[in-house]
Amino acid sequence: MTGFRTLFYKEWLRFWKVSVQTILAPVLTALLFLLVFAYSLRGHVEIFPGVDYAAFLVPGLAMMSVLQNAFANSSSSLMQSKMTGNIVFVLLPPFSHHEFFLAYLLAAIGRGLVVGVGVLAATIGFVEVRLEHPLWVIAFALAGSGVMGALGIIAGLYSSKVDELAAFQNFIILPLTFLSGVFYSIHSLPPFWRRLSLANPILYMVDGFRYGFFGQADVSPWLSLAIVGASFFALSLFTLWLIKIGYKLRH
Amino acid sequence: MVPAIQVEEVSKHYGALRALDEVSLEIAPGEFFGLLGPNGAGKTTLISILAGLAIATRGSARVMGFDVVSQYRDARRSLGVVPQELVFDPFFTVREALTFQSGYFGLRDNREWIEEVIHHLDLAEKAETNMRALSGGMKRRVLVAQALVHKPPVIVLDEPTAGVDVELRQALWRFIRRLNRDGHTIVLTTHYLEEAEALCGRIAMLKQGRIVALDTTLNLLRRHSGCYVELRLSPDQLPAALAPFVAQRHEGGYRLALRDYGEVERVIAELRAAHVEIQEMEVMRPDLEEIFVQIMKKA
């Protein structure tokens, strides 16, 4: 357990030491989104009855930040370690693949949650957001950041260059998070785009998370939780297998 | 007694390239062992297999009796590796790097030993400095310290003195010798053959993935019974009878390669007969470098 705890703590400290870049910057980005969208569309859009658009945006933006930062943490840590060669310091010790996976995963979840809490905390006082089902909020924050943390590990293992990771981030993660209903309800989309959106697993994370705040959602929170939970389970198994065989880690 | 390192018919192929080809080797506990060979001979590949950084295509390897694949936890606990590349984690200070490395190996309260390692490698002044701010030599010291934090019985140093100044090299060898005296098995790869000759009790020479020589350093040195004679003559003209012995003609002298010490007598006799005066004469036994070159040529 000491080995696992140390690796987790190292991964935690790694982002904490540069928190201006890893925590404050994403919180500021989310606030800018809120400022631009909420104030420009104020009074024009009402997605859930009785819910102000700015209030609708806050949980979506918080979840988007949670997901993007969970992914960024594990992927950049692994990729940078591989690029600089210091990955050798975690390959030489006697870590099992479970310990290796859990340490990177939990640190990714940790950063996601810290940024998410930061976004929510920063909006208190500006936007009034209800919190109807906190357990759903916690469940989706954990499961969603877990999925993205595991995906981050896969991307970090796969990428040997900054370019490869940037492609993963810009062409997969960013579009999927932006098109996951953070800024709108999928019911406002034309049927084709609505059906396409339903194939985006991140939609269920954002929608379920938002359900915890307003008690309203586009999809049943149980279905969302089942989809997110199954994705987490499958991705975790796949990631564990990659680590076990030493994919792009051990020759 | 369980060997410190046991390598049995290990091969490692990268596509068509045979980085290691059926290498077998046994290193006893407490040995100071040298692994020599030109670049690309397979030294680092062999170390990587022992450390679990690479997986052998065929064969098996054990550290302190533990299989590096099926008993990887015990095998890795038994091994400390100083990698060849100058790698470091830019987020942390020297002390943090060492504390983390110790924790990775499951050691909780290891402060005393960490302080000792810091002291012996002369890192105390830089203990709170970020790794990024250290010079190359200092980073190398930290790498050595990181390999030692879990007190492994077997320590592998992959070219630890490459690009390192004399002072650090001497401090490093003093510390490594002490560890060896304390019972640690040391495996060293180096391009500085005089270091290997001075430190290693036994040596394996690798070429193109195969072991081409494996013997005690003394036996390797004795294996070639010949010697060299450095001569400065007046007049600077070697008698024709001695021409077949010339190994090197250099400014102001000759280097003759002789089969044995008995031939020194003949050289002197020939010079006397030709009325050539010896101004300077030095008889030398071949050093490890000469022997290394000869073995690599023959292999």
- Any CB–CB contact under 8 A between A20 and chain B? no
A251 vs B contacts (CB less than 8 Å): 14, 48, 53-55
- The pLDDT score that the predictor gives to residue B136 is 83
A127 or B242: which carries more pLDDT confidence?
B242
Residue A205 pairs in a beta bridge with none
**Residue A250: inside a domain:** no
Count Cβ atoms below 10 Å from residue B225 Cβ, excluding itself. 11
Q: Taking each helix axis as running N to C, give the angle between helix A25-40 and helix A97-123, from 0 to 180 degrees, rounded to the nearest 10.
A: 40
- Comparing CA positions, the residue from A244, A229, A49 lying closest to residue A139 is A229
**Rounded Cα gap, residues B167 and B159, in angstroms:** 16
Quick one: pLDDT band at residue A132, thresholds 50, 70, 90? confident
CATH 3.40.50.300 at B5-222, yes or no: yes
Which region among A47-56, A57-66, A209-218, B232-241 has the lowest average model confidence (pLDDT)? A47-56
**Rounded Cα gap, residues A228 and A203, in angstroms:** 10
B251: CB partners within 8 A, 6+ apart? none
Q: How many structural domains comprise chain A?
A: 1
Determine the structural domain holding residue A86 and report its residue range.
2-245
Residue extents of the structural domains in chain B: 5-222, 225-298
pLDDT digits (tens, 9 = 90+) for A56-95: 888 999 999 999 999 999 999 999 999 988 999 999 999 9
Look at chain A and count its residues: 251
Mutate to test the interface with B, among A89, A90, A97, A104 (most CBs of B within 10 A): A89
Residue type (1 letter), A197: S
Residue contact A84–B108, C-beta within 8 A: no
**Residue A53: inside a domain:** yes
- Backbone dihedral angles phi then psi of residue B57, each to the nearest 5 degrees: -70, -40
B131 vs A contacts (CB less than 8 Å): none
- The pLDDT score that the predictor gives to residue A249 is 86
Pair of tokens at residue B162: 């490459």
Question: How much is the pTM?
Answer: 0.84
Quick one: pLDDT band at residue B225, thresholds 50, 70, 90? low
- Comparing CA positions, the residue from B61, B48, B60 lying closest to residue B19 is B48
**Residue A54: inside a domain:** yes
A234: CB partners within 8 A, 6+ apart? none
**Residues A28, A33, A38, CA angle at the centre, nearest 5°?**
125
In the three-class reduction of DSSP (H, G, I as helix; E, B as strand; rest coil), residue B157 is classed as strand
* Strands B58-63 and B32-36, bridge-based pairing: unpaired
pLDDT digits (tens, 9 = 90+) for B23-52: 899 999 999 999 988 888 888 899 999 999
